[in-house]
Amino acid sequence: MAEVKTACVLDDWLQELEEEALLEKYTIGPGDLHNKVEIGEWLLYSMRELSNIFNREAYPPLTELMTRIRYGVRRELLELVKLRGVGRARARSLFDNGVRTFEDVRELEIGKLARIPKIGDILATSLKEQVGDSRRPKKEKDGPPPTPQVNAPTEKEKRSQSGQRKLMDF
> Domain boundaries in the chain?
1-72, 74-137
Under a CB-based contact definition with an 8 Å cutoff, are residues 98 and 70 in contact? no
CA angle 164, 169, 170 (to 5 degrees): 85
User: In terms of DSSP H, where are the helices of 55-154?
Assistant: 59-71, 88-96, 102-107, 110-114, 120-130
Q: How many CB atoms lie within 10 A of CB 76?
A: 12
For range 64-91, the mean pLDDT: 93
99: CB partners within 8 A, 6+ apart: 80, 105, 108, 113, 116
Provide the phi-psi class of 49: left if phi over 0, else alpha when psi is between -120 and 50, else beta. alpha
Q: Average model confidence (pLDDT) for the chain?
A: 83
Does domain 1-72 bear CATH number 3.90.1150.60?
no
pLDDT of residue 49: 95
136: CB partners within 8 A, 6+ apart: 110, 125
How far apart CA 68 and CA 86 sit, in angstroms, is 13
Give residue-wise pLDDT tens across range 110-163: 999 999 999 989 999 999 999 886 555 544 444 444 444 444 455 544 444 444
For range 37-59, the mean pLDDT: 94
> Over the Cα atoms of the chain, what is R_g?
22
Domain 74-137 sits in CATH at 1.10.150.20
> Does the structure show a pLDDT above 70 at 92?
yes
Closest CA to 117 of 100, 95, 93: 93
Question: For residue 163, what is the DSSP state?
Answer: S
pLDDT of residue 132: 85
**Could you tell me what percent of the chain has a pLDDT over 70?**
78
Distances (CA, A) of 36 to 30, 43, 86: 10, 10, 22
pLDDT of residue 135: 59
pLDDT of residue 118: 92
How far apart CA 69 and CA 77 sit, in angstroms, is 12
User: In terms of DSSP H, where are the helices of 2-29?
Assistant: 2-14, 19-26
For range 34-40, the mean pLDDT: 94
pLDDT of residue 89: 93
Indicate the pTM of the whole model: 0.70
